[in-house]
Amino acid sequence: MKKTLGVLMLCTFLLTIGSTAEATKIWVSGNTGNWSDPVNWGGTLPGTTETAQVNNGHATLDATQTIGQLLMGAAATDVGVLDINTGANLTVSKNSAELIGMVKASGASSTINHSAGTVSVYSTGYAGTGETRLVTASTTTGTAIYNLSGTAVLDTEVLSKGNKNNSNAQFNATGGTLVIRNMIYRFGLISENGVGFNQGLAKLEIGAVSTVKSITMGNGTNSMDYTVGTGGTLVFDIGGASSYDKVLQYGNLCNTAGATLNINLLEGYTPDVGSFFDVWTFSDKSKAGSGLFASVPTNWTASWVDTSPVPDGSTDTLRLTYTPEPATIALLSLGLIAIRRKK
């Protein structure tokens, strides 16, 4: 009798664990169809705290859903596609650093086509921050593509390339709105030789809800619409006279008052005294930037200037100028003299 009771108690305990554990629901391999059809998930839709995996097949988000986590590409042969184009919304909110993870295995191919509706990516209880992370495996192979267009909104804590060396990880914004609450990570930095953050005529809101922590601009001329939160940090990489982070902005006014400016000089590059770098230019001067930074690196000045062919007193460009203090110049000169004497 005691043995039977013990077995029953053990079974009850195991069933309790099974019922409270956060499950994973996997899209039926090779299926094409609507997210809301339970058949495509093997009988039951992913729940509000569960992980949904679209590893191999083609899913369409046809109804508003809340899940814990979205993962794609669990095997090298997987080809997974998720269309978010009907206006339905997706909320991803598990207590995990990585909330949307694409290319979980080397060689997998994952694509999200997002042209309508809002995808909200938050980490409600995790100590870190939730990410929309394209390449999540420790690999340089596999294709991860997120296409943002139309009226779509991607509202995420972090947008991360995941693996900075994977040129097949691409975020293509040709429309819609990208809201970054924390930072963009490992996209298009000169120091990382990154590619894949392709900006079209989309709108990018940095720190739209909470104070922005970091903005790292991509090398080349970008044409997104940046709105910067007060009290944040702007990071620009400078690797040479013509090799530095640049942004061409359309639209919203940017006020950098209260923000911190960080400048990374790459690979030992030291600008000539008086060298300047026009890092942020506005196509519409009526909506150009303004405001003094709360903190600027030593030996640098930051100012909003007018670079138009016929100056009219208004500003259109953020210019960073290398202006070392006289003491710094003297030290550099002494260093050069010492080197010559050794020779």
145-165 residue pLDDT tens: 999 999 999 998 888 888 766
Read off the pTM.
0.77
Residue 192's identity, in one-letter code, is E
Split at pLDDT 50, 70, 90, the class of 119 is: very high
320 vs 130, which has greater pLDDT?
Answer: 320
Q: 201 pLDDT exceeds 70?
A: no
Distance, CA of 74 to CA of 338 (rounded, Å): 59
- For the four alpha carbons of 194, 152, 51 and 212, in that order, the dihedral sign comes to positive
Task: Provide the pLDDT for residue 128.
Answer: 59
Q: 211 pLDDT exceeds 70?
A: no
Distance, CA of 245 to CA of 234 (rounded, Å): 11
Angle formed at CA 237 by CA 267 and CA 140, multiple of 5 degrees: 75
- Identify the helix (H) or strand (E) that includes residue 332: helix 326-342
Contact 139, 173 (CB under 8 A): no
Q: pLDDT tens digits, residue range 243-260? A: 888 887 776 666 777 788
Query: Between β-strands 317-322 and 276-282, what pairing exists: parallel, antiparallel or unpaired?
Result: antiparallel
Question: Which residue, among 130, 185, 136, 184, has the nearest Cα to 157 in the 3D structure?
Answer: 130
Average pLDDT, the chain: 81
Q: 281 pLDDT exceeds 90?
A: no
Q: How many CA atoms lie within 13 A of 144 on its CB side?
A: 36
Distance, CA of 220 to CA of 216 (rounded, Å): 13
Task: Provide the pLDDT for residue 15.
Answer: 44
Task: Provide the pLDDT for residue 24.
Answer: 96
Q: 114 pLDDT exceeds 90?
A: yes
Contact 147, 174 (CB under 8 A): yes
5, with CB counted inside 10 A (0-12, 13-18, 19+), is exposed
64, with CB counted inside 10 A (0-12, 13-18, 19+), is middle
Contact 56, 80 (CB under 8 A): yes
- Please report, rounded to a whole number, the percentage of residues in the chain having pLDDT higher than 70: 74
Contact 75, 46 (CB under 8 A): no
Question: Which residue, among 92, 43, 86, 38, has the nearest Cα to 65 in the 3D structure?
Answer: 92
Contact 144, 100 (CB under 8 A): no
